[in-house]
Structure 1
Amino acid sequence: MPWPDYRSGSIVNLMASLVEGLGGGPTGYVPLPALPVAEVAEYRQVVLLVVDGLGCEFLAHQDRRSGLRERAQLTSVFPSTTATAVTAFLTGLAPQQHGLTGWHMYFRELGAVLAVLPGIPRYGGVPLRQAGVDCARLFGHVPLSDRLKVACSMVIPRRIAHSDFNLAHQGQADLRPFDTQEDFFQAIAWIVRQGHGRRFVYGYWPDLDRISHEAGAYGPEARGHFAAWEAGLDGLLRRIKGTGTLIVLTADHGFIDTAPDRTLLLDQHPVLAECLALPLCGEARVAYCYVRPGRQEAFESYVLSALGAYAELWPSGQLIERGAFGLGPVHPRLAERVGDYVLVMKDNYILKDWLPGERRFQPIGVHGGLSEAEMRVPLMVAVA
């Protein structure tokens, strides 16, 4: 069970190398030994490609053709999920500092459980901006582009490019929405070839994650998709050859596959549900539990007796103390955003609850937990 290695081997340490190498100063985390600051500083342009869901275990089973080779294996953050990890890429901080702890989060200051990335209440409704909430102030983050001493560009899928979350993290970066894989690589090539002076380009590719959720992380759909994407990457490397560009590829998390018989439904555990003051938050692999006053003993007893084979029970404060979310200063709202207890699911089990009106579905690929497949992501590097 690999916990995040925030001391020298996580995606947060990778960001420390990139931020310092691009003139942004210390992040509070040690730069990654596998990509020294001095190496980053040598290059006129740096391109960070984040492939959502590209874990080391998946990569090990692929017939690789790209000019990028794996330099190191990194750990993701905790939980190993997009909301926490992409925020680390866009701020240079671990969840302990940035305070975004999963797909579903309880924001006490709003009195609501939100789906963080689309920025809507879990029960549905309009995005936060339409409701009059300033997401930049709500999150309180300094975007990476506002820290760096170089020009910045973000290449983001058009369907999410102008989301509340993305706009809150855009800062001074030039935004380049795209629709297709060809658009994605073409946009990056154009930015690199047109650039004058130093530049940082962040490119986010989402579709491997979507396919892995829907069709499984190790099936033909995911393999075929990545093979086609990697062919596009080779084309990018040819188009930008000679531009003095450092290409860095990594991911936010990996995947495991689950199954219906590994899915625990909260409505099949009424004793557990009766102990909760809020819907489950976090992830299906890492559930934050807000327990009603006076029900702590009953909650612990039920989890240990009925769910002990499927989940590890952690008081949330213990996870903060052991550094699961990061090192150093703690976000002032972190404790209230991870509940009273955390259920970390074992093997490939997941725990789900459903609000009235939510569409019930059974995912195949899942992430968020502490398995090797979910936590280990690659660091690949090439020079153009």
Structure 2
Amino acid sequence: MLPDYTNCITNIIASIEAHHGLAPLQQTHPVVDALLGEKHYRSIVLLLYDGLSVATLKEALPEDAFLLRHLHTTLSSVYPPTTTAAVTSLKSGLNPIQHGWIGWTMHLPSLDQNVDLFINRLQNDSQFASLDNAGMSLLPYTTFTSRLRAQGIDAVEISSYGDVVTSGRGEMTEAVIARCLSPGAHVIYAYDGNPDALMHEIGAHHPDVMTLVRTLNQEAEAFAQWLPEDALLLITADHGLVDAEYVMLSDYPEILDCMVRPYAVEGRTAAFFIKPGLRDRFKEVFTAALSDRFTLMTTSEFLASGLLGPGVMHPSLPAMLGDFIAIAKGNACLSMKPEYAGLVGVHAGFTEREMQVPLIVAKR
């Protein structure tokens, strides 16, 4: 399933910014525009549950559950549908082609290192990158909340990593409610890392995941009831997950012999850096071995495909993505070797389960 950048999570941010008089960075979303225009909301709350796809909602919940009753429409994630790309898009209002945070692990040419951007550690290593906060240092962006604050609007992120730092969903929702009840107008972005974290550990369909989603449903319903009448609650997600069917590159020495370094980005959308003179050889051996599980394209083809969205390309992207991109078919997922294949649930592929996320609307 291809991303739709006219019906995307970034369009939510464009609508919120346009509603407050800022020039939107993307097309606005007509559904969100209509919601914001129907009455004056003193507080707008955008709550993101990491990994809570439409497919997971429908698998875990009965039709009359709060989150399904209030499912307003289905949105597209960005590509790749992965936390690094999608959350960065949501926070910045930029498409992946513009911000450059394409996946969990990015090759940073100026450091000559593959770095896990969110945690600033070297790929498959406990060591930190050679530059503090390498992602924001080399791929900086402004958040939509900071742009709103610059216009005098009380706009904050409330999360474990936000402007208002909280621990756990209960503390997060209490902080959101308290801010909505305080004087003035507010725009609040709140983030919770589940069910993504649990799905990574035990899989997308595990009974414990279904139980967690039912708990999220109960908590979201109570949260919505506690919000004041002049608050609009929008709930969405960044992506969904599938259970990995691993392909170990250690089983394919002829592929490894062509590579300069481990692949970057993600196991379901992988960037390959090839030794000089071996591009044709790599294409030949990769296609012969793995064309039933991955689509291989040159990085130039990938960047021209529109998969990363419209907008001016970040100048560092071509160098960060190397020579080839392999995109998974079905549930296939690359790993350099078995000891690195620790995640059960994964994302960053083309399936509907990963790409389709909800726009849930609660208002009183």
TM value normalised by structure 1:
0.88
**Secondary structure, in 3 states, of the residue corresponding to 2:157?**
strand
- 1: CA distance between counterparts of 2:85 and 2:27? 19
From 304, 316, 328, the counterpart of 2:299 = 316
> Alpha carbons of 1:25 and 1:349: their partners in 2 closer, same or farther (altered >3 Å)?
same
Matched, 1:233 2:220: yes
Measure how far apart 1:132 and its partner are.
4.4
- 2: CA distance between counterparts of 1:192 and 1:43? 10
From 43, 63, 68, the counterpart of 2:41 = 43
- 1: CA distance between counterparts of 2:2 and 2:72? 20
Matches within 5 A, 1:273-352: 273-352=256-335
Partner of 2:173: 185
Matched, 1:199 2:189: no
What is the letter of the counterpart of residue 190 of structure 2? G
Matched, 1:247 2:233: yes
- 2: CA distance between counterparts of 1:339 and 1:191? 45
Partner of 2:360: 380
What is the letter of the counterpart of residue 115 of structure 1? D
Matched, 1:30 2:31: no
With 290-299 and 334-343 compared, the bigger mean Cα shift is at: 334-343
- 2: CA distance between counterparts of 1:131 and 1:302? 36
- 2: CA distance between counterparts of 1:239 and 1:143? 27
**Secondary structure, in 3 states, of the residue corresponding to 1:246?**
strand
What is the letter of the counterpart of residue 154 of structure 2? A
What is the letter of the counterpart of residue 245 of structure 1? A
From 1, 8, 12, the counterpart of 1:10 = 8
> Alpha carbons of 1:120 and 1:92: their partners in 2 closer, same or farther (altered >3 Å)?
same
Alignment deviations for residues 289-339 of structure 1 (CA, whole Å, 9 cap, x no partner)? 111111111111112111011111111211211211111211111112222
Measure how far apart 1:222 and its partner are.
0.9
> Alpha carbons of 1:187 and 1:133: their partners in 2 closer, same or farther (altered >3 Å)?
closer
Matched, 1:365 2:353: no
Measure how far apart 1:102 and its partner are.
0.3
Alignment deviations for residues 82-140 of structure 1 (CA, whole Å, 9 cap, x no partner)? 00001011100001111111001001122211001111222535545x95456543222
Alignment deviations for residues 262-281 of structure 1 (CA, whole Å, 9 cap, x no partner)? 31111111110111112111
**Secondary structure, in 3 states, of the residue corresponding to 1:331?**
coil
- 2: CA distance between counterparts of 1:288 and 1:364? 21
- 1: CA distance between counterparts of 2:91 and 2:328? 28
Matches within 5 A, 1:143-222: 143-148=143-148, 149=151, 150-157=153-160, 161=161, 175-194=163-182, 196-222=183-209
Does the CA contact (< 8 Å) of 2:181 and 2:228 recur in 1? no
Over aligned residues, Cα RMSD in angstroms? 2.0
Measure how far apart 1:361 and its partner are.
3.9
What is the letter of the counterpart of residue 302 of structure 1? V
Does the CA contact (< 8 Å) of 2:246 and 2:341 recur in 1? no
Matched, 1:139 2:106: no
**Secondary structure, in 3 states, of the residue corresponding to 2:340?**
coil
- 1: CA distance between counterparts of 2:263 and 2:134? 25
Measure how far apart 1:45 and its partner are.
1.2
Measure how far apart 1:57 and its partner are.
0.9
> Structure 1 residue runs of 4+, over 3 Å off?
123-128, 130-137, 358-362
Measure how far apart 1:42 and its partner are.
3.4
**Secondary structure, in 3 states, of the residue corresponding to 2:71?**
strand
With 148-157 and 370-379 compared, the bigger mean Cα shift is at: 148-157
- 1: CA distance between counterparts of 2:332 and 2:133? 36
What is the letter of the counterpart of residue 152 of structure 1? A
Percent identity among equivalent residues? 26
Does the CA contact (< 8 Å) of 1:20 and 1:37 recur in 2? no
What is the letter of the counterpart of residue 96 of structure 1? I
Does the CA contact (< 8 Å) of 1:248 and 1:382 recur in 2? yes
From 44, 52, 55, the counterpart of 1:54 = 52
What is the letter of the counterpart of residue 336 of structure 1? A
With 41-50 and 54-63 compared, the bigger mean Cα shift is at: 41-50
Measure how far apart 1:197 and its partner are.
2.2
Measure how far apart 1:65 and its partner are.
2.5
With 147-156 and 338-347 compared, the bigger mean Cα shift is at: 147-156
Does the CA contact (< 8 Å) of 2:81 and 2:348 recur in 1? yes
Matched, 1:108 2:98: no
**Secondary structure, in 3 states, of the residue corresponding to 1:36?**
helix
> Alpha carbons of 1:233 and 1:144: their partners in 2 closer, same or farther (altered >3 Å)?
same
- 1: CA distance between counterparts of 2:13 and 2:145? 12
What is the letter of the counterpart of residue 86 of structure 2? A
Partner of 1:167: none
> Alpha carbons of 1:190 and 1:352: their partners in 2 closer, same or farther (altered >3 Å)?
same
Which consecutive unaligned segments of at least 5 residues does structure 1 have? 162-169
What is the letter of the counterpart of residue 343 of structure 2? P
What is the letter of the counterpart of residue 146 of structure 1? S
Does the CA contact (< 8 Å) of 2:180 and 2:228 recur in 1? no
TM value normalised by structure 2:
0.92
With 50-59 and 130-139 compared, the bigger mean Cα shift is at: 130-139
How many pairs align?
357
Does the CA contact (< 8 Å) of 1:247 and 1:381 recur in 2? yes
- 1: CA distance between counterparts of 2:116 and 2:122? 6
